[in-house]
Amino acid sequence: MIKNPLTKEEKQVIINKKTENPFTNEYDSMFKDGVFYCRQCSQPLFSAEAKFNSGCGWPSFDEHFPGSVVRKPDSDGIRTEIICSNCKGHLGHVFEGEKMTEKDTRHCVNSLSIKFIPKSNEGNIEVAYFGGGCFWCTEAVFKLIPGVISVISGYSGGSKDNPSYEDVSEGNTHHAEVVRIEFNNVIVTFDDLLQIFFEIHDPTTLNRQGNDVGEQYRSIILFTTIEQEQKTKRYIEVLKNTGIMAVTQVIPYMVFYQAEDYHMNFYENNPNNPYCSLVVMGKVKKAAELIKKRNLSLPKS
């Protein structure tokens, strides 16, 4: 099981079973449409539809997704602890008999134990995270696309805080080489980005893209909205129905670590690098053709 890196405060709650302060935590008074995931392992736990205002100072839910939460007698011998069924991380406590909702159940959860992913983004600016092999390639490709505001190379999806390129290359961090894409979804849609992403890499090879072999080169999408998750899974299902058995990992975004400065704009800054001229250039040319086919005008040089 791959576990997401945790901050000192998150470890205090999830690992050491401490309780964060009431009324000042991130999700107590937040009510938006989406899903709450386990911050440590990314398992979906609660739908936003199950959240209600209990007045207790912590996020409260009267229902969890089937099989996602386990109850345990608390060490104080009085309360009942709730933990994530997948990673066993501490979530909070459950109470019954308070008559606050029809289900008469209150899962009192620490905000630091969960991560909220909204159903859709608010406004025109959206962020996506894609990994499809070496980030020199993916960065160069997505920088071509009209409507893309910025592309940053980095590491995500693993278990080590602030990894270096050397750490990731050793294969022990579980991080993948990914790019953070900020884009205007009025000009270019997430569907456009999905098609280009799946066309410029091989989603059927596990932990490998061409001669680049290792877990860091796996095909991965870290969704930032439920809408992105649904669109990605539908796209993968369509691919499978056409005989393309994609092994792309689809997980909620948790944390992103920007790569070292020398990785930024690598293709532009190193045109004579053999990898750039042999591998990256081919992907860039293919992406340019796809952009034209989708009637997206290439930016002026």
pLDDT of the residue at 295: 61
For residue 298, the model assigns a pLDDT of 37
End-to-end Cα separation, the chain, in angstroms = 45
Length of the chain: 301
- Ordered DSSP codes for 238-274: HHHHTT-----EEEE---EEEPPGGGTTHHHH-TT-H
Classify 168 as helix, strand or coil: helix
Q: What pLDDT is attached to residue 300?
A: 32
For the chain, domains (ranges, CATH) are 8-118 (2.170.150.20), 125-293 (3.30.1060.10)
Structure tokens at 298: 């290439």
Whether 157 and 175 have beta carbons less than 8 Å apart is answered as yes
Whether this model's pTM surpasses 0.95: no
- 139: three-class secondary structure by DSSP: helix
Per-residue pLDDT of the chain (301 residues; tens, 9 = 90+): 778 999 999 999 999 999 999 999 999 999 999 999 999 999 999 999 999 999 999 999 999 999 999 999 988 788 999 999 999 999 999 999 999 999 999 999 999 999 999 999 878 999 999 999 999 999 999 999 989 999 999 999 999 999 999 999 999 999 999 999 999 998 899 999 999 999 999 999 999 999 999 999 999 999 999 999 999 999 999 999 999 999 999 999 999 999 999 999 999 999 899 999 999 999 999 888 888 776 654 333 2
pLDDT at 123: 86
Distance between CA atoms of residues 38 and 278, nearest Å: 41
CB burial readout 25-56, b (16+ within 10 A) else e:
bebbeeeeebbbbbbbbbbbbbbbebbeebee
Number of Cβ within 10 Å of residue 207's Cβ equals 15
The Cβ of residue 153 has, within 10 Å, a number of other Cβ atoms equal to 22
Confidence at residue 294, expressed as pLDDT on a 0 to 100 scale: 66
Is 84 labeled as catalytic in the residue annotation?
no
Catalytic residue among 38, 41, 134, 276: 134
